[in-house]
Chain A
Amino acid sequence: MAEHVRTAPPVIDWSTDFDHTDPVWVDNPFPIWDDLRKVCPIAHSDRYNGVYLPTRHQDVAAIAYDTDHFTSKAVIVSNGEILAEAPIGGAPPITSDPPFHQHARKLLLPAFGPKLIEALRPSVEALCDQLLDDMEGRDVVDAAIDYAQHIPPAVIAHMLGLPIEDGDLFREFIHHTIVAIDAPQEVRIEWFGKVDEYLDKHINDHRDNPRDDLISYLLNAEIFGQKLSHEHVRGTCVLLLVAGIDTTWSGIGASLFHLASNNEDRNRLAREPELLPLAIEEFLRAYAPVTMARVVKEDVTINGTELKKDQWCLLPFPSANRDPEQFVDADQVIIDRAENRHAAFGLGIHRCLGSNLARLEMSVAVERWMKRFPDFILEDPSAVRWAAGQVRGPRVLPVRILERNEASPVLN
């Protein structure tokens, strides 16, 4: 994949000119948020035709709950005119507003409920074990490139009913639609066209040959007694592909990054594997991958700051998760933190639809990795590369394996 060439000027003042794609933010956004929470809790930048940045938990929550003054018609901050229209938007339900939103969401909720998702565990375990088998004989592997990035595409392809081997293509779609956001608008539109063309082909094939998967389910689903439009079905597929892949890939990668860089936590989790559920919630809090966005629908004052109509507003859930007003020792990663009201999956009506799936994939991926490689360290901390934009996680993560266990025999 070609490296995206950055043209935006570097940020000098984070409270008046921030840019969430600036290399300084991408590499380590935490000090920026810690500082803004104290000096300028709702910052503004003229970039992207105007964007706000709340950094405190209470303000992020207030905006997430305020669907009267904020629309979700566009959720990825970008240059150029916002073409999407409320209340449906281009990828329902994430881009939809009430009251349409709840109808589109209710169609999908059952498929992503915790009980149905739990049933996928054995297949996710098998997928992770296969990836670990493929690393046999290597002392240095890339936990992002060889492992994390392959897990969510295979799972979501299986659920939707798309070819599992198209993972590289999905990652390319994601790069051009949500990572390279300062590319010229016509380039992004061209890529959205390619995504649509790919999905049209597969949706039409499902129309002719129905099967037991989410695309066939969506083709049969109804809202207000009417079948969904082709655009709705395709938009939901775009959502599931884009939202279901680099988010969880980031969560898995960030968890392994933390464990590779922290000897005490890694050794403790290897010794006490029963801590895994708490550790996963803490990795979700401390390294929450997703920053959402809204568009201001009507001028509104939040906590003393006036937000102007038609400007963007970022919702940095990872910053809310590090707010010392809400979390004790907010800047510390505590893998057995028992009280952890994190907002990694958002707040309010747009709570991440796939949160149960993401949690399952992260838990299985970290558990299987730790079983196979109980001891591992960063091979070269300066080689680690984090994704730019609204989804943050390691994209290059070379680790050295210090201890390995044999693959468990396959049980019949």
Chain B
Amino acid sequence: MRLVIDSEKCQGHNRCYAIAPELVDVDEMGMAFVLGDGVVPEALEEKARLCVANCPEFAITTED
């Protein structure tokens, strides 16, 4: 599983960063980006799913 954040849609709500700081970081403007290549370790798949389900802007998706 790979986590993808659409930076055009992200408005910096910071919900994903609060849920999964292991997968997501924020820049100086508070906008989110995925760490590394975005590949989600199996143990963090539930957190990745919650990032998707909690983004108010529908900016986050996962790819297989």
Contacts and interface: CB of A to CB of B under 8 A. Distances in A.
Interface of A: 106, 109-110, 112-115, 277, 281, 338-343, 345, 347-349, 351, 355-356
Contacts of A281: 15, 54
B30 interface: yes
Interface in B1-49: 11-15, 17-18, 26, 28-30
A113 B13 contact: no
B12 A351 contact: yes
B54 A340 contact: yes
A343 B57 CA distance: 9
Contacts of B28: 109-110, 113
B17 A345 contact: no
Nearest to B14: A114
B56 A277 contact: no
Chain B residues touching A, range: 10 to 19
A339 B54 contact: yes
B50 A349 contact: no
21 contacts: A106-B29, A109-B12, A110-B28, A112-B30, A113-B28, A113-B29, A113-B30, A114-B14, A114-B18, A114-B30, A115-B26, A341-B53, A341-B54, A341-B56, A341-B58, A345-B56, A347-B11, A348-B11, A355-B12, A356-B14, A356-B30
Nearest to B21: A114
Contact of B50 (A110, A338, A355): A338
Contacts of A342: 56
B39 to A, nearest CB: 23
Interface SS of chain B = loop
B50 A339 contact: yes
A351 B29 CA distance: 13
Contacts of A339: 50, 53-54
Nearest to A117: B30
B26 A113 contact: yes
B50 A277 contact: no
Nearest to B55: A341
B54 A349 contact: no
A405 to B, nearest CB: 27
A114 B26 contact: yes
Contacts of B13: 345, 351, 355
A54 B61 CA distance: 28
Contacts of B54: 281, 339-341
A355 B13 CA distance: 7
B5 to A, nearest CB: 15
Nearest to B10: A351
Contacts of A114: 14, 17-18, 26, 30
B21 to A, nearest CB: 10
B29 A347 contact: no
Contacts of A109: 12, 28-30
A265 to B, nearest CB: 20
Nearest to B17: A114
B56 A347 contact: yes
Given A281-B15, A348-B57, 19 more contacts: A109-B28, A109-B30, A110-B28, A112-B30, A113-B12, A113-B29, A113-B30, A114-B14, A281-B54, A341-B56, A342-B56, A345-B13, A347-B11, A349-B11, A351-B11, A351-B57, A355-B12, A355-B13, A356-B30
Contact of B56 (A110, A112, A338, A343): A343
A341 B53 CA distance: 6
A347 B17 CA distance: 17
A339 B60 CA distance: 14
